[in-house]
Structure 1
């Protein structure tokens, strides 16, 4: 059973929203380390890999449709390397937190995860709110700064500081997230 979970948040993005260009510039440097982190997590039996993604108001959309919409968007180059691997859990969400209105809490309890690693976008929004929800559920929390992207870098840095200080999150480079 998994003791840790890697939760990848909102990386299937068509980049067709108001702040998309600004966000995309911040996502560019995290794609490679995030793809590597996902690959490492996928190779281990003790890590539950979970993608949680906004459904963009389409309550009929499934994983395939959300992936296709992202790949047909403005920046498929940012999506392709981090597409969810076959067989990993995929949960659509409608609000900021990966926990709100999803079965993430149940999935984590069934896998006996004690630690949650959060990666994806947007640091000062969905990642921050998911971190708070993980913290109040008593999960150990890790956030790799090289695998999260913000719209506003100053707010992203403030969010990381809040997670570290107020939620006891460990900020660690992606290479140090899953010790052997």
Structure 2
């Protein structure tokens, strides 16, 4: 069974203490676990996708403009991967199994070539990591489910703004999407 790791939105704006839309300490607490799961995927020569939110400074028609402050702006440090995940990415980014995906919606599938790339590489299972559990991880999981991919989520690899949303999303992954959820 071939797997791909999707590291979603683990950027300064979503994780750093002073990030524009930070999920705070819960996001920083999963840093080591994400680094370890990326290293494991590298060792197993699995496909690894860094799916990163991308916004332009002026986007009056983008739906998120009314919901959230400006974040993950093109060319800004807030859009860079956070901490040790950035360091690790820099050391592996030239490998043929490591991919960067710009995304402009919550889901890593929306408006990106992700589905096509996974099919080309005969991937059957996606392993989700990053932030936020109840926003971008959730929407990516729903699209993965709708596209027929199996879903794995380790609670140690995802975080959110609040515990209630995080717990609800983990339950939804398992009970509604049939995901394998490690608690």
TM-score tier after normalising by the smaller chain length: 0.7 to 0.9
Q: Deviations over 1:28-69 (max 9, x none)?
A: 210001100001101112x1111100012369xxxxx96861
**Does structure 2 retain, via aligned residues, the 8 Å contact 1:5–1:113?**
yes
Q: State the aligned residue count.
A: 158
1:141 to 151, 154, 157: 151
Change (3 A) 1:41 1:58: farther
Gaps of 5+ in 1: 60-64, 174-180
Deviation of the 1:150 alpha carbon? 0.4
Distance 1:4 1:28 in 2: 25
Deviation of the 1:3 alpha carbon? 1.3
Distance 1:68 1:151 in 2: 22
Tell me the residue number matched to 1:176: none
Runs of 4+ aligned residues of structure 1 deviating over 4 Å after TM superposition are 65-68
Tell me the residue number matched to 1:86: 93
Note if 1:115 corresponds to 2:118: no
Gaps of 5+ in 2: 59-72
Change (3 A) 1:66 1:149: farther
Q: TM-score, normalised by structure 1?
A: 0.80
**Does structure 2 retain, via aligned residues, the 8 Å contact 1:71–1:80?**
no
**Does structure 2 retain, via aligned residues, the 8 Å contact 1:97–1:127?**
yes
Change (3 A) 1:118 1:58: farther
